[in-house]
Structure 1
Amino acid sequence: MANFNLNLFFLIAIATFAVSAYGIDDKCGACNAIAEELERGLLNEKPRNHLDMRHRLDSKGQRQGKLIDYRVSDLRVVELLDGLCEKMQDYTLEKVDSSRQVWIKVNNWDNLQTNRQEARAYSKDISTFCGRLLEENEDELAESIKKGSIKVGEVSKVLCQELGRYCSQTSSNRKAVDEEDVSDREL
């Protein structure tokens, strides 16, 4: 019996490694999930004052330096992107039908009705994919955020079509249909 359990453990470990070794099959779907999480960050932003960088006094006692609008600051970019990929560890793949899977956010892993070990492997895969996506597109994404060209509702278009080039125009339309299918299934 112990030998059977050990073999079963190795079989599951190999299967989990095989799934993660091949990475993300649907890069467009994964990118859209990352864009959705970034969009949540944009929606949850609180209004902020300008950044006051006027720390020096001139000979007349007047403060010198810059007053930077928070919306175009590097601080805003850092706050939006910092921890984004760690948040992606709350996502996993859910099978919609025999030919389609979608990324969903898991609020409670105990309520997950699929194989938890496999679901955790998927969450690590998307987190790793997020890291690569941000690394490859960080400068352009930061500039887009600073310029204000990334707005709520357009994050997926900018991140997944224009910058990452993982999605075409037609696949973003499919994403909207997928979101309707799983909007009630967020666990």
Structure 2
Amino acid sequence: MTWTAVLIQILLHSFCDSGTGRSSQGDGEIGQMAIKLYTRSIVLIVVITFLSVLPATLCIEDKCSACSAIAEELEHGLLKEKPRNHLDMRHRLDSKGQREGKLIDYRGSELRVVELLDDLCEKMQDYTLEKVDSSTNTWIKVSNWDLLKTNKQEARAHSKALSSFCGRLLEQAEDELAELIKKGSVQVGDVTKVLCEDLSNYCKGTSSSNKAVDDEL
């Protein structure tokens, strides 16, 4: 029996027990019992409703597909990069008045890593899971939520789940990913392999039925 079933059983048991025991004496006790029954009924309804939507808000069934969507968003960031000057870190002067420090190539800098990864998971809230057929789902990027034809509450739950999954993924792989970015090992066209096979293993040895796409609604 799952913890969900146990919780519901406990609540039902508590609900039923409230009607047993010694007979009530007078209208006051009857009124108190009615209030308790009503309160427990409301609590039970709220808990069951919460548990019914919990899997949709917390679970990512196809982690390879979700990782691929995140990788594609990161790849969009790489594609949008513009040439940048070297970072001038020569802020101090030596005893002769000469500037000390060095020039750092932007492409190998920590600043570039931050700009690519800092708001990546927030951007994943623009995605949701769309059903293609009875056995296939795909992550899509939504440009206008008002035009979405599916259940918007469920669609938002999927987007939050993907954003949370992204946070856990980066927590697991960010250090190694950052080093690969600075070394120039993360190139357009290879991000999914690097992030979802080499670093996280979510897609290694699997063939996902869900593929992230660039379609916008």
TM-score by length of 1: 0.85
Distance 1:15 1:61 in 2: 69
Summarize the Cα distance change of 1:115–1:13 in structure 2 as closer, same or farther, 3 Å threshold.
farther
User: What amino acid does structure 1 have at the position aligned with 2:127?
Assistant: Y
Tell me, what secondary structure is at the counterpart of 1:119? Answer: helix
Q: CA shift at 1:95, angstroms?
A: 0.5
Tell me, what secondary structure is at the counterpart of 1:165? Answer: coil
Which residue in 1 is equivalent to 2:173?
137
Which residue in 1 is equivalent to 2:119?
83
Which residue in 2 is equivalent to 1:17?
54
Which residue in 2 is equivalent to 1:147?
183
Unaligned runs of 5+ in 2: 1-41
- Structure with the higher fraction of residues in strand conformation: 1
- 1:1-187 matches, within 5 Å, as 13-21=50-58, 23-168=59-204, 171=207, 178=211, 183=214, 185-187=215-217
- The percent of aligned pairs where both chains have the same amino acid is 69
Tell me, what secondary structure is at the counterpart of 1:54? Answer: coil
Summarize the Cα distance change of 1:14–1:170 in structure 2 as closer, same or farther, 3 Å threshold.
closer
Deviating above 2 A after TM superposition, structure 1's stretches of 4 or more consecutive aligned residues are 9-16, 168-172
Tell me, what secondary structure is at the counterpart of 2:130? Answer: strand
Q: CA shift at 1:14, angstroms?
A: 4.1
Instruction: For residues 143-170 of structure 1, give each alpha carbon's deviation from its aligned partner in whole angstroms, at most 9, with x where no partner exists.
Output: 0100100001110000000001100256
Q: CA shift at 1:106, angstroms?
A: 0.5
Q: CA shift at 1:88, angstroms?
A: 0.2
Q: How many residues align?
A: 173
Distance 2:189 2:98 in 1: 43
Unaligned runs of 5+ in 1: 1-5
Q: CA shift at 1:86, angstroms?
A: 0.4
Q: CA shift at 1:135, angstroms?
A: 0.4
Q: CA shift at 1:186, angstroms?
A: 2.2
Distance 1:18 1:69 in 2: 45
**Which protein has the larger Cα radius of gyration, Structure 1 or Structure 2?**
2
Distance 1:88 1:107 in 2: 12
Distance 1:26 1:123 in 2: 14
Q: CA shift at 1:125, angstroms?
A: 0.3
Distance 1:87 1:17 in 2: 22
